[in-house]
Structure 1
Amino acid sequence: MLAYETVIAFVVASTLLSLAPGPDNIFVLMQSVLHGRRAGIVVTLGLCTGLLGHTLAVTLGVSAIFQVSTWAFTALKLIGAAYLIYLAWGAFKASAEELPLTEQPVLSRWSLYKRGILMSSTNPKLAIFFMAFLPQFADPDRGEISFQLMQLGGLFLLVGFVVMSLFALLSGTIKSWLRDSERGQSVINKLAGTVFLGLALKLLMTER
């Protein structure tokens, strides 16, 4: 089972990362603006469904790597840390002008749901992120790694669903804020970049 302090740290990190403007929450936001809040919720459900596949892949893959060799674990750790540092660099240099607040084509709810699934399940960057992010919060001394990773994946899905649903429900206000508040965007991006850097350092210090 996950420690209480681990759950708190994981939820805080997941919330900050989910709030940072990105393709997924921007897509949710725009569909909500164009087609109503329910459309945004449907897209969110699709995105979260796609994340289930990533959670399962990480659970199976990381559990195997933990058991295979120190070399494989070290390689995974270095790759994951490098990717997190890359994400931090992108977050720090992101600007308000880069947010793609453009209109999307009209889609049915079923199409929106499928689009959400495809956007998350076929995103290799998301797969790498999950591989680098989830294992940092698992502790081999607290039981089966695979069970802990499934718990963490479930928590991430819950946090992501809540945050993106809020984007959908507050679509009009959030769209105006994202478009007009360059300082607000900068603060969120810097927070996300700081979290990414912290996670990279934590991953580098993790021992098998």
Structure 2
Amino acid sequence: MISAEFLITSLIVVLIPGTGVIYTVSTGLIQGRKASVFAALVCTAGILPHLVATVLGLATIMHASALAFQILKYAGVAYLFYVAYATWRDKAAFAIDANPSAKTALALVAKAFLINILNPKLTIFFLAFLPQFIQPGTEEPFFQLLLLSATFMTMTFIIFVIYGFLAHLFRKVVIDSPRVQNWLRRGFASAFATLGAELALTD
């Protein structure tokens, strides 16, 4: 039921750096491995509303309604620009032994979830992506859609965790160099701003 074509296509989609990947990598560098797992988990959870919208047919409504799409799109654009501004302004040193406190974990959860849920491109993507891999003439299309969705989310979480752990491996180098810290901070801010601009130009 889960074809090789679906697994390969999903892997390519997940590996392409987007807001979730950039956020997970930046979290792994700045706050450590444990925090990157938080980020990966919640970024993956942020996909769930888009999958539910696709299953329930809400994505079709959004695709047909320019107003609904634009409202969600510009909310996402505004939030990405806010994240870019906050990242650019945050000149606090990276802490090598930082473990996310309850307050920090809550902030990670909120930011990661908002980054994904405010992206209408995900809903449209799943509307076009998942139905292609449902077997024609199947008696259980709903079950297949759920299975495909669960598989995609599992792959997303695993890949995001790997990204976060790889970022953590380079963390000591970042900690020892304020210059590298400054370069990375500006780089992540620019990446979030670029993704916001890209979303703003989406029709």
Number of residues of Structure 1 aligned to a counterpart in Structure 2: 140
| Identity level (%) | 29
Q: Any residues of structure 2 matched to 1:89-100 within 5 Å, and which? A: none
- SS at 2:23's partner residue? helix
**Runs of 4 or more above 3 Å deviation:** 102-107, 172-176
Say whether residues 1:165 and 2:164 are aligned partners. Answer: no
Corresponding residue for residue 118 of structure 1: 114
The answer as to whether partners of 1:53 and 1:121 remain within 8 angstroms in 2 is yes
Q: Any residues of structure 2 matched to 1:1-208 within 5 Å, and which? A: 3-4=1-2, 6=3, 8-61=4-57, 108-172=104-168
The answer as to whether partners of 2:33 and 2:168 remain within 8 angstroms in 1 is no
Q: 1:88-135 CA deviation, whole Å, 9 max, x = no partner?
A: xxxxxxxxxxxx9x9575881111112111111221011111111111
- SS at 1:170's partner residue? helix
- SS at 1:108's partner residue? helix
Between the aligned partners of 2:13 and 2:53, the Cα distance in structure 1 is: 21
Question: 1:158: how far off?
Answer: 0.3
Compute the TM-score of the two structures, normalised by the length of structure 2.
0.60
Q: 1:121-175 CA deviation, whole Å, 9 max, x = no partner?
A: 2210111111111111012422222221111111110000000000011115689
Long gaps (5+) in structure 2: 65-83, 93-102, 174-203
Compute the TM-score of the two structures, normalised by the length of structure 1.
0.58
Between the aligned partners of 1:141 and 1:124, the Cα distance in structure 2 is: 30
Question: 1:39: how far off?
Answer: 1.0
The amino acid that maps onto 1:131 is L
Seen in structure 2, the aligned counterparts of structure 1 residues 174 and 57 have a Cα distance that, compared at 3 Å, is: farther
- SS at 1:141's partner residue? coil
Long gaps (5+) in structure 1: 66-71, 77-99, 177-208
